[in-house]
Structure 1
């Protein structure tokens, strides 16, 4: 009887160990799947925030272009959130933006030009949550026969993107 009790105890111990490992693996798998499924939303939110900043900078440049008498280049100036020691605004950086005759940021009409517009307008790396942002140029004449439909598309390798209409100054919302 002693031998069968020892065998039964060993079998019970093995069963408990296997059960504990199975529960642990199940919890880890569920946790990994949960974290993995939420990451595209983070990338989309980050791209939406960049699109809002892009839109703001484009319109700031346009109004500055109007106010300065429609020059070929405007200088966008950024300021710190706090006043300086002498209670004046503190300038943090300046960036030149080349403007079209319609008053919108411009560059050459190709993908490299779209990257240049990103650099002029946003002045941040073309990256979202560790993923490279890809700039693509779409010729409006090829799309709809209208040059005004030309656009730069800023996208991740898969998923969300936003567009900037070069001749209209419109920033179209993030799409999937």
Structure 2
């Protein structure tokens, strides 16, 4: 192979490498674009799943309350937790300051975060037609669900648009 052929061969492989790198960079940018475009959908789906998990754990705690002859505090032996319940067996730290925060921590077994996002907690009081207390767990993006302390219902699962 002559010197000129070697130079041409190197130039050809250099240009091929540049084309391949450019193509890979374009494909990566398309992937990143669609990933971030769908990130909100991931959060919404996971928060809906978190609400379902919350509801099933509350129901499991109430079932244990029934099995233990309806005490005021349910001992979850697997996790070593003592969870306060109301007279109907639903998780409720009645009269305690930060009741809804304690409910979240007891049921979800985590701090007030979800996918590295803080969870805002509100205690709502509805007086008509009957007096009802609810906890609302909400993300900054607008997704939330409510937990009715007297009935144990997890409802109003709302997904921001």
Equivalent residue for 1:74? 74
Return the alpha-carbon distance in structure 1 between the equivalents of residues 118 and 42 of structure 2.
14
CA distance in 2, matches of 1:162, 1:45: 13
- Once the two structures are TM-superposed, the CA of residue 28 in structure 1 deviates from its matched residue by 7.1
Aligned length: 138
CA-CA distance at 1:24 after TM superposition: 9.8
SS in 2 for 1:162: strand
Instruction: State the distance in 1 between where 2:110 and 2:118 align.
Output: 12
Asked whether the 8 Å contact 2:121–2:137 carries over to 1, the reply is yes
Flag the 1:109–1:46 CA change in 2: closer, same or farther, 3 A.
Answer: farther
Residue in structure 2 matched with residue 43 of structure 1 by the alignment:
43
Q: Does 1:147 align with 2:120?
A: no
Q: Which has the higher contact order (CA 8 A, sep 6+)?
A: 1
Aligned residue runs from structure 1 range 13-162, under 5 A: 31-78=31-78, 93-108=79-94, 112-141=98-127, 144-148=128-132, 150-162=133-145
Q: Work out whether residues 86 and 94 of structure 2, in 8 Å CA contact, stay in contact via their aligned partners in 1.
A: no
TM-score, normalization by structure 2:
0.73
Cα distance 1:51–1:111, how it changes in 2: closer, same or farther (>3 A)? farther
- The unaligned stretches of length 5 or more in structure 1 are 1-22, 79-92
Alpha-carbon separation, structure 2, partners of 1:111 and 1:139: 15
TM-score under structure 1 normalisation? Answer: 0.67
Contact 2:136 2:145 in 1 (8 A): yes
Over residues 74-103 of structure 1, what are the superposed CA-to-partner deviations in whole Å (9 max), with x where a residue is unaligned? Answer: 01233xxxxxxxxxxxxxx22111010111
Distance 1:75 1:47 in 2: 27
| TM-aligned CA deviation for residue 27 of structure 1 | 6.9
Which stretches in structure 2 are left out of the alignment for 5+ residues? 1-22
1:43–1:128 CA contact under 8 A, matched in 2 = no
- 2 CA distance for matches of 1:71 and 1:30? 57
Q: What's the C-alpha RMSD, in Å, of the aligned pairs?
A: 2.6
